[in-house]
Amino acid sequence: MSSPTDFTLAGARDALRAKEVSAVELTEAFIGAVEAARPLNAFVTETPDRARAMAKESDARIAKGEARPLEGLPLAIKDLFCTKGVRTTAGSNILSNFVPPYESTVSQNLWDAGAVMLGKTNMDEFAMGSSNETSAFGPVFNPWRSRTSNAKLVPGGSSGGSAAAVAAQACLAATGTDTGGSIRQPAAVAGIVGLKPTYGRCSRYGIVAFASSLDQAGPMTRNVRDAALLLRAMASVDPKDSTSVDVPVPDYEADLERGVKGLRIGIPKEYRIDGAPPEIDALWAEGVAWMKAQGAEIIDVSLPHTKYALPTYYIVAPAEASSNLARYDGVRFGHRAKGAHDIADLYEKSRAEGFGREVQRRILIGTYVLSSGYYDAYYIRAQKLRSLIADDFTQAYKKCDVLLTPATPGPAFAVGAKTADPVSMYLNDVFTVTVNLAGLPAISVPAGATADGLPLGLQVIGKAFDEATVLRAARAIEVAANFTARPQPWWRAA
């Protein structure tokens, strides 16, 4: 091992327990990597002092033989998770100085498991975006570059900072949140693993809300085992979140290597879309072949309402967001405009100054679709479609155990390439949004690369609360794909 930052999460855990490395050494190495990765702009806030203090405590615990599951493991936290005493911005100007007096349940679970916080990662503003370009703190750059160009590429979004930080080995793993693909899409284009758990698996308490019925936290890691390890620590039923579900959290790692022999893998025909690069379909076909070779049964299935998923999503998510973001009014916390002459003026100025264009666009869309006279035509119809989309999966799961699809319609694209056209940006989530609408678990796992060397992912979608099978199938892909390429650390030279 050339550097402690080369560890996987599980590898570092084992090395710490074997006392091959100390938590302080590990943490110092990552604090250095975070600093070195600054050109990527992956972090909004670095917390080296807190990291050192936590690492010290971890070493003490390890010495006493009291190591917890994630003892001494340095993680990055998406800046959507409220962290007590540490600024939490949601990538927005309106929260640029917001320091929460409370901790999100998911991050609390991680600290309770002994993890070390390196900092808060950059993200699309309020998690609205697929390229990390809507952040008020500037874009994040993908550690990966094309072999044929030095153009800076996006890391995907909205969890772009987390994806970049993991891919650049600036942390062992990171948390993300996924409302329409915000974990899986950046994971795919940054060559890492990203898992969106079943809705209700992880508590939403303390996570700045975007679209409450879709938001779900999940792990972003270097490999599938790490995702299993991190998910187990993040997940919990939470009395503070009425939508969290009391289903036992299994030891996902235990089952990981069982293979896919006899597993029925559904291939939904609707995920073959016109205009996608041929590499996407080719990778998908390869994935099917790998699974077949490992003894899985391949079954063709249909999810007939897939084509309505994106429009449905762009009604449901903005509708909820328009209401969720009403609290940012400049009255109690966050940005307050100066010189307002009355309360309406205060609202208008504070929100106009505090929210970026994409957020404003979605608030307007959401307000529109909920307005009297439009509610039935948009919101109610979208809810009906949402049920139909969920039912598509129910029907498919009568024939198969998991579904295998591409994760994204293409690789990472250049910064600025899609910012002028929101719809082309929204299309990045075409393979991922259905899963959020249906509340199901899904993982993106690195499976190959474009001719230019940019990573591509495959997606495994599972039944509700069956993350174990999703992880097992993803592990089989990981083994077969043997994707070991790493980005050249160009940012260190910068």
Binding site for another protein (CB under 8 A): 81-82, 88, 90, 95, 98, 100-102, 104, 204-209, 211-213, 239-243, 319-320, 322-323, 325-327, 329, 331-333, 343-344, 347, 367, 370-372, 375, 379
Q: Clarify whether 96 is annotated catalytic.
A: no
Least distance from another protein to the Cβ atom of residue 454, Å: 34
Contact 407, 456 (CB under 8 A): yes
Catalytic site residue from 22, 92, 107, 182: 182
**Residue 440 Cβ, how far from another protein at the closest point, in Å?**
17
Q: Name the residue among 120, 134, 136 with its Cα closest to residue 171.
A: 120
**Nearest to 145, CA basis, from 409, 413, 419:** 413
Cβ closest to another protein, residue 59 vs residue 103: 103
The Cβ of residue 281 has, within 10 Å, a number of other Cβ atoms equal to 14
Catalytic residue (one of 22, 78, 130, 463): 78
Q: How far is the CB of 206 from another protein (least distance, A)?
A: 4
How far does the chain reach from its first CA to its final CA, in angstroms?
Answer: 25
The nearer residue to another protein, 347 or 490, going by C-beta atoms, is: 347
Buried b (16+ CB within 10 A) or exposed e, 35-56: ebbeebbbbbbbbbebbbebbb
Q: Which of 107, 135, 158, 162 is catalytic?
A: 158
Annotated catalytic residue 182: yes
Q: Can the peptide bond before residue 158 be classed as cis, meaning omega within 30 degrees of 0?
A: yes
DSSP at 260:
-
Nearer to another protein, 150 or 372 (CB): 372
Residue whose CB is less far from another protein, 217 or 445: 217
User: Which CB, 204 or 463, lies closer to another protein?
Assistant: 204
CB of 373 to another protein, least distance (A): 9
Q: Given the complex with another protein, which of 65 and 101 has the nearer CB atom?
A: 101
| Closest separation in Å from C-beta 45 to another protein | 15
Shortest reach from residue 9's CB to another protein, in Å: 25
Q: Are the beta carbons of 175 and 162 closer than 8 angstroms?
A: yes
* Catalytic annotation present for 78: yes
Judge whether 316 and 386 are in contact, CB under 8 Å. yes
- The conformation of residue 19, written as its DSSP 8-state character, comes to T
Among 310, 326, 311, 408, smallest CA distance to 359 is for: 326
Secondary structure (DSSP) of 142-171 = PS---TT----B---SSSHHHHHHHHTTSS
Active site residues: 78, 158, 182
